[in-house]
A and B are shown apart, each in its own frame.
Chain A
Amino acid sequence: MPKVKMPRKSTAIDMTAMCDVAFLLLTFFMLATKFKPDEPVTVVTPSSINTTLLPDSDVLLFTVDKDGRVFFSMDGQPKRKKLIEDLNTQYKLGLDDKEIKSFVTGASVGAPIKDLKQYLSLSEDERKKSGLDKGIPTDSANNELGAWIEYGVAAQGGSIAKLKYCIKADNQTPYPKIKEILDTFKKKHIQKLNLVTNLEEAPKGTAAWEEANAPKK
């Protein structure tokens, strides 16, 4: 009687197709992800129980570091271009194309307007070393923050209603600085502001916690 030979089948599968899928997804996520823009200063934001998300667009973001230096940033390259061109004409800064491009593609800026030409001609690393990034002046004698707000609003074009004003300040920022900034907004008749915070859970037993954990009807 002849022996019945079962053909030995390998249990291994071809992984190539799975690998293709994995890398396709990887490429998609890498391309679709917007990296956090490089910030000139590190800011540790306080936490709150608020869950409202920071919008991606139509935002004027004012970053305040722990020494109270104020930096300005805005999304949208066409808007940034309009903003810097307006500033250039108004303050007669004499910026050349390279410096305008540096502002349009860059992240935050924080320098007095008169130093803006020199500031924009430097690279990000050089700015830190040169000590030019002393922040936007907010004191009442020379309140350039107001000007930045005005030009930022003007650069929005039609979508002013959607515009949000965000303040991202460090835990250690002294309160008088925050007050100066809030007062500046108040003077511009901007009442609705957003403070950037981290999420933290509402403490147990409080009104907010009970609301969040209320049994669903």
Chain B
Amino acid sequence: MAEMDTSSSGGGKKHGGTKSKKQSTRVDMTPMVDLGFLLITFFMLTTTMSKPKTMDLIMPKDTENEKDQNKVKESTALTILLGKDNRVYYYEGLAQDPNASANPDFFKATSFANTGGIRDEIIRKRDEVAKLRNAKGEPEDVVVIIKADDQANYKNFVDILDEMAINRIQRYATVDISDQDKKWIQSTEAANGVQSTPAAPPAK
């Protein structure tokens, strides 16, 4: 491989100066090849890795007819509320009975943490409901009701849908938040001050 000779010392051939040294025109190509392959690697990696993924979301049809609506059993339901600052609240059942909140442990606060967060609660409820049997003697499926408060953000929403995928919950629904739920969130926030510790019991 020819190289550019840039060294000035010709090794004692300085005498005379009659013979001009024959310079080769060939250049070392190795750095250029290196650069070329570096760019190729860059383009190959960036093109395949920046591909975004999508999450399927299938919305239910709005049915006016009362008969077409699915009824959820109180015993198989888990209601999850999304509050502000990434807070999560949950309670078991649907809270159709206004006296349900009489129990101070009814409405609980938690977080999106990997352990001790809402996931553990979903898994616990799922396994608990799987032990129940319906009228035909088949195992029941847990139904998760997701209600997002106005202060929740999109990340919370996707995170909770992701929890459904992570824990393989087959039946879940996003429902509008009720005034009663909002009231509970407010009173829990007020009771816990700014920082709500995970799974702290809410004040009545």
Contacts and interface: CB of A to CB of B under 8 A. Distances in A.
Interface of A: 10, 12-16, 18-19, 22-23, 25-26, 29-30, 33, 36, 45-54, 64, 164, 166, 168-179, 182, 185-186, 189-199, 202-203, 206-209, 211
A52 B55 contact: yes
Given A54-B54, A194-B55, 19 more contacts: A12-B2, A14-B29, A15-B1, A22-B40, A25-B36, A46-B159, A53-B53, A174-B150, A174-B154, A177-B154, A182-B59, A185-B59, A193-B57, A193-B58, A196-B55, A198-B52, A203-B114, A206-B166, A208-B168
A22 B154 contact: no
Given A19-B33, A22-B36, A50 B1 contact: no
B153 interface: yes
Interface string B78-109: 00001000000000000000000000000000
A179 B177 CA distance: 11
Contacts of B40: 22, 25-26, 29
A22 B155 CA distance: 43
B151 A174 contact: yes
Interface string B151-165: 111111111011001
Contacts of B51: 53-54
Interface of B: 1-2, 28-30, 32-33, 36-37, 39-40, 43-44, 46-47, 50-62, 82, 114, 119, 123, 148-159, 161-162, 165-168
A176 B63 CA distance: 22
Contacts of B82: 175
Contacts of A19: 29, 32-33, 36
Contacts of A50: 53-56, 162, 165
Contacts of B37: 22
Nearest to A171: B155
A110 to B, nearest CB: 17
Contact of A191 (B60, B148, B155): B60
Contact of A14 (B1, B32, B58, B161): B1
21 contacts: A13-B1, A15-B28, A15-B30, A19-B33, A23-B36, A26-B40, A26-B43, A29-B43, A29-B44, A30-B43, A176-B150, A178-B154, A190-B59, A191-B58, A191-B59, A193-B57, A198-B53, A202-B166, A203-B119, A207-B167, A208-B166
B29 A48 contact: no
Contacts of A182: 59
B36 A173 contact: no
A179 B148 contact: yes
A33 B47 contact: yes
A64 B155 CA distance: 12
The 4 closest A-B pairs by CB, nearest first: A12-B1, A22-B36, A15-B29, A173-B154
Contacts of B32: 15, 19, 22
A65 to B, nearest CB: 11
A49 B30 CA distance: 43
Contact of A175 (B36, B60, B153): B153
Contacts of B52: 45, 54, 168, 196-198
A164 B55 CA distance: 12
Contacts of A169: 154
Given A15-B29, A29-B43, A207 B60 contact: no
Contact of B59 (A10, A186, A203): A186
A52 B47 contact: no
